[in-house]
């Protein structure tokens, strides 16, 4: 009697597995993310249990007996990428670069072997022909590097080739086009993606070859996507930016070997991606006089201070209920700050529409941006321009107090370096540096700030 092929359901958001379909994933609470996939064949290498055949000598080791000597990191030739990874790539690690189609993932990963000519690289592509990759390499200004292009989509063959070549770096573009014949579903499905990533991880750990894996995310984040991959890989880098604009931001959202708070900025030019080592200079507008509705925030991304423009637009609400919308900033936090302005400083904004935008397509979560947000809102509300040589760094509390933020000295130094004349901080902040040309103005609460700024 023919038996029906067994299937299971996966959540595309968190990878949770369930024997039956559910409208809402019980693990992550997302709606409508369950997709059906055949049960994986137990003949594949994933089913190997117990002691691994490849490493029969594996035993628990004491911490102090562990050999750290091979932990030297591999430099990828692009300073900003190395910095994001925490100082280069760790041998045997699996790094996922995720992003929307067309954002520049293939360009970035091809530029790495072109920048670092002595790195023997195996570039596996399932999306383009060798000719296409070659033409792109020429356009990016170099085809004399030590990089081999391999057009293949069967992951077993890819790994076999990589074992034979033992490159210094392997790049796989992209996880959605690779497949394994141990699973029956189509390339790009959840079970294929999981198997391909697990196979690459095993290869990386056993051989010590670092692997960069590229993954597409769709606009709405659905489809069997890199979300479930995040659990498998060592490092997740997200490449984002507005497709129309030329700036791209690479941020680390998971890193087993470094900080996740780092961020790097690139510019897409006619000849590939260019690193922007001083993003503050690009994020700060060039207008001589300040415009109303803008304020400069001194935030910290990981270890690096970054100054950028916060823009607000406050207008009378057309409909009964006022609209609040924020791009790059948490809308709930915006609502909270507006409530503080209303309740603690007496500004009536409840009948006003408020739109907020972080310049350059940034997404911020540093609470130090609060102060610039309320200044931008007030500036737009009163149509009063804040002088362009003033910047802000402080968190706003629920009772309207301005709270100190971490690493204030670095923010003050960066503001001074960029030629700012005044920086507003909390009166509890301990500023120890005194850079030339900048005045540190301390304010205790929102009313004091308004008095100092808009008097
Ligand atoms: P690509 O790396 O193919 O994106 P992804 O792999 O993430 O899908 O990059 C696609 C875009 O980058 C494409 O629209 C053209 C642009 N681009 C440039 O502007 N300059 C260049 O030198 C290159 C190679 C691409
Ligand atoms: Mg691509």
> pLDDT tens digits for 43-62?
544 444 555 555 556 678 88
**CA of 246, closest atom in ligand 1:** 19
> pLDDT tens digits for 231-257?
889 999 988 876 566 788 888 888 998
Distances (CA, A) of 258 to 4, 82, 114, 226, 364: 47, 11, 25, 20, 20
**CA of 239, closest atom in ligand 1:** 7
> 136: Cβ below 6 Å to ligand 1?
yes
Query: Residue 97: which region, alpha, beta or left (left: phi > 0; alpha: psi -120 to 50)?
Result: beta
Taking the C-alpha atoms of residue 78 and residue 326, their distance in angstroms, rounded to an integer, is 33
pLDDT of residue 390: 92
> 250: Cβ below 6 Å to ligand 1?
no
Main-chain phi, psi angles of 275, to 5 degrees: -75, 140
pLDDT of residue 47: 45
User: Is the Cβ–Cβ distance between 133 and 123 less than 8 Å?
Assistant: yes
Write out the two tokens for 141.
């200004």
Mutation to probe ligand 1, out of 101, 103, 107 (largest number of atoms < 8 A from CB) = 107
> pLDDT tens digits for 143-202?
778 899 999 999 999 999 999 999 999 999 989 899 999 888 788 778 888 899 999 999
Distance 77 CA to ligand 2 centre (A): 20
pLDDT of residue 380: 95
Taking the C-alpha atoms of residue 372 and residue 310, their distance in angstroms, rounded to an integer, is 7
Name the closest ligand to CA 176.
2
**CA of 214, closest atom in ligand 1:** 6
pLDDT of residue 18: 86
Which pTM does this prediction carry? Answer: 0.74
């Amino acid at each position: 009697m023919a038996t029906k092929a067994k299937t299971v359901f996966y959540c595309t958001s968190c990878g949770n597995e369930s024997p039956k379909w559910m409208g809402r994933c019980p693990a992550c609470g997302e709606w409508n993310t369950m997709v059906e996939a055949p049960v994986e064949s137990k003949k594949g290498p994933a089913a190997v249990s117990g002691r691994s055949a490849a490493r029969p000598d594996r035993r628990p080791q004491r911490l102090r007996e562990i050999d750290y000597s091979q932990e030297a990191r591999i430099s990828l030739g692009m300073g900003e990428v190395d910095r994001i990874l925490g100082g280069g790539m760790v041998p045997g690690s699996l790094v996922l670069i995720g992003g929307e189609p067309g954002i520049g993932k293939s360009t970035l990963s091809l530029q790495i072997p072109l920048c670092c000519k002595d790195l023997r690289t195996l570039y596996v592509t399932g999306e383009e022909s060798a000719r296409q990759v070659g033409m792109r390499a020429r356009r990016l200004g170099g085809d004399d590097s030590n990089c081999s292009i391999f057009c293949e989509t069967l992951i077993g063959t890819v790994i076999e080739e990589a074992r034979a070549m033992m490159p210094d770096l392997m790049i796989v573009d992209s996880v959605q086009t690779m497949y394994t014949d141990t699973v029956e579903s189509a390339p790009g499905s959840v079970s294929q993606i999981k198997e391909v990533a697990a196979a690459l991880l095993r290869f990386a750990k056993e051989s010590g070859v670092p692997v960069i894996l590229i993954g597409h995310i769709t606009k709405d984040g659905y489809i069997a996507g890199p979300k479930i991959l995040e659990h498998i890989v060592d490092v997740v880098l997200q490449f984002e930016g507005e497709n129309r604009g030329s700036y791209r931001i690479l941020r680390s959202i998971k890193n087993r070997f470094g900080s996740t708070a780092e961020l790097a900025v690139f510019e897409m030019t006619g000849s590939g991606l260019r690193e922007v080592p001083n993003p503050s200079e690009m994020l700060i507008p060039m207008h001589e006089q300040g415009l109303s509705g803008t304020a400069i925030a001194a935030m910290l991304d990981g270890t690096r201070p970054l100054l950028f423009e916060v823009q607000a637009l406050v207008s009378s609400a057309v409909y009964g209920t006022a609209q609040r919308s924020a791009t790059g900033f948490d809308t709930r936090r915006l609502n909270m700050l507006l409530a503080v302005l209303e309740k603690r400083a007496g500004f009536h904004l409840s009948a006003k529409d408020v739109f907020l935008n972080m310049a350059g397509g940034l997404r911020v979560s540093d609470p130090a941006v609060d102060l610039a947000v309320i200044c931008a809102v007030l500036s737009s509300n009163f149509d009063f321009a804040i002088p362009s040589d003033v910047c802000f760094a402080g968190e706003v509390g629920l009772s309207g107090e301005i709270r100190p933020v971490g690493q204030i000295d670095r923010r003050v130094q960066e503001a001074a370096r960029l030629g700012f004349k005044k920086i507003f901080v909390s009166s509890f902040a301990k500023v120890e540096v005194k850079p030339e040309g900048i005045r540190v103005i301390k304010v205790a609460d929102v009313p004091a700030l308004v008095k100092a700024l808009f008097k």
